[in-house]
Structure 1
Amino acid sequence: MRLSDISNEAILLGGGARAILLQLAMPAVGRGVANHSDFASDPLRRLRHTLTYLYVLVYGTDDEITRITGHVNRAHTPVHSAPGATAPAYDAFDPRQQLWVAATLYDSALTVYTAVFGDLAPDDAESLYRQYAVLGTALQMPAELWPEDRAAFSRYWAQSLRELRVDAEVKRVGRALLHPAVAPLWIRALMPTVRFLTAGFLDPSIRASFDLPWNARRQRLFDRTVRVLGTVYPRLPGWLRHWPARHYLAAFRASASRPSAVPA
């Protein structure tokens, strides 16, 4: 299985907010992102830019990939922080912090995909895992830093989860992401569903750290929702399932005539 076989599935957007919350919960990453003014004032912008990066990286031409990675690297230049009392220094070019960001994107995509489509065959799962390393290596993460196989990744993930911390500042940014004050009406209308799915796909301890409400009734509703998605979503026409990828790629390509523009 290739990365391009699944990356354009719109259902994977259901893991986008999950990935960002997990990134925020890593102390070094959370401190840097929470203090970055662009994200604090418009958290959905990070999600839009992340999606653009992913879609271009998987489906773009070599020139387009060079352009998007150059843009992301320039955007990362001012994103850094000095060490504090409760968090280490953050630098967006730190390979281990890039590894964590890439890991959250992989784990969130796989979590949602398998919930809807079912488990992958072992060979497909391993092949897909290896390809996901490009999310980090495209931004200068050394390839050898990506855990060598899924078993190694599971150990890395378990250890990383034990290192996560959610302080008041990170919680504030997480709330801004899930309750956007600046967003089109249709996005705000979708946010209750986004919050529900995000909470359901999160590890219980992280869910509680972000004060996301959960109980047995919500769990039953989440389980039913995932079952319905697993029945309905794969039967939707491809043009609908792949619309977000086409949209973000088209927006990125339209910006080619405006070199100073930020892809959206």
Structure 2
Amino acid sequence: MTATAAARTADGPTLRDVVGDVAFLAGAPRRFLMEIALQPVGHGVADHSRALRDPIGRFRNTTAYIYLVAFGDPDERDAVIRMVNRAHRPVRSAPGAEVEYTAFDPELQLWVAGCMYYGGRDMWQRMVGPLDDGAAERLYRQFQTYGTSLQVPPELWPADAEAYDAYVARTLDGIEIDRRVRDYGAALLDPSQHPMPARPVFRLMRFVTVGLLPDQLRAAYGFPWNPADQRRFDRLMSAGSRLHRATPLGVRELPKDLLLRASRRVVASRA
């Protein structure tokens, strides 16, 4: 066992361990659907995001924030935070809009940042193994940086990981996804939006993403799911976990290394 693996076994994963792993990327579409399920976030994204028009550009900007907050030096962190704040300035609802929102709303940012912890913890546990309460708590504290680096005050975060889980459960129980957000989510996962040779990959991505969603959100989005789908999904997750654990760490973190370099170029080009 390597020293890195031993440290992870003893203390649980760090923010960098989780965010740097390819499993975190695999869960990105699920995180996004969770984020926009909160109606003000969903309408803000539908009104202003380039995710459908320019998915690569949207992915590039999002990963720049995720990776540079976790792995960047202080100057890089400050630069990417300024970049995100600039991008957020025009993101606000029009006067008289049925759904009001602003990208600077701390409550909405809490939900979005919290979805990163929810998704990161879940994918780690699916691919690597369960976290004990102490490890989950440490990881929860570290993930808070994605909110506090923007406009979420530390005291707005639920007191601990258990309280956070209760907050998520309450929020999910109260979520109603309207037609606009439902259509946006369906379009996001539509394989026909991509070139024919790539469609099998996107069909698999859609299946995995729908399977990863909490039951309430899957139903609210109207994605069909039956016991046979669940059995297939469970087999896929089991096989994925075996493959993940057999893959060398350097290979699992190679996408992060490549995207981190790209993120640095993005921020440098906008400085």
- Post-superposition offset of 1:181: 6.4
Deviates more, 1:127-136 or 1:50-59: 50-59
- Matching residue of 1:231: 242
Residues 185 and 235 (structure 1 numbering): CA distance in 2 closer, same or farther, change over 3 Å?
A: farther
Question: 1:34 touches 1:40 (CA, 8 Å); kept in 2?
Answer: no
Q: 1:206 aligns with which of 200, 213, 217?
A: 217
Give me the whole-angstrom Cα distance separating, in 2, the residues matched to 1:97 and 1:257.
Answer: 28
What is the aligned partner in structure 2 of residue 102 from structure 1?
113
Task: Give the Å deviation of 1:179.
Answer: 2.0
Task: State the shift of 1:29 in Å.
Answer: 0.9
Kindly provide the amino acid, as one letter, of the partner of residue 123 in structure 1.
G
In the alignment, the residues of structure 1 paired with residue 172 and residue 89 of structure 2 have an alpha-carbon distance, to the nearest angstrom, of 27
Shift of the 77–216 alpha-carbon distance from structure 1 to 2, 3 Å rule, reads same
State the distance in 2 between where 1:147 and 1:234 align: 32
Q: CA deviation at 1:189?
A: 4.2
Query: Structure 2: where are the runs of 5+ without partners?
Result: 1-12
The residue that corresponds to 1:162 in the other structure is 173
RMSD, aligned α-carbons: 2.0
How is 1:55-94 mapped onto 2 (pairs within 5 angstroms)?
55-82=67-94, 84-85=97-98, 87=99, 89-94=100-105
Structure 1 residues without counterparts, runs of 5 or longer: none
Aligned residues: 258
Distance 1:259 1:192 in 2: 35
Post-superposition CA distance 1:154-175 (Å, at most 9, x none)? 1111111123221111122112
Residues 129 and 149 in structure 1, CA contact (< 8 A), matched pair in contact too: yes
Q: CA deviation at 1:34?
A: 0.9
TM-score, length-normalised on structure 1? 0.90
Structural mapping, 1:1-264, within 5 Å: 1-36=13-48, 38-43=50-55, 45-82=57-94, 84-85=97-98, 87=99, 89-179=100-190, 188-255=199-266, 257-259=268-270
TM-score by length of 2: 0.88
Q: Deviations over 1:13-48 (max 9, x none)?
A: 222111111111111111111111523423454333
CA distance 1:62–1:185, shift in 2 (3 Å): farther
Query: Alignment identity in percent?
Result: 37
Separation in 2, partners of 1:117, 1:180: 29
SS at 1:53's partner residue? helix
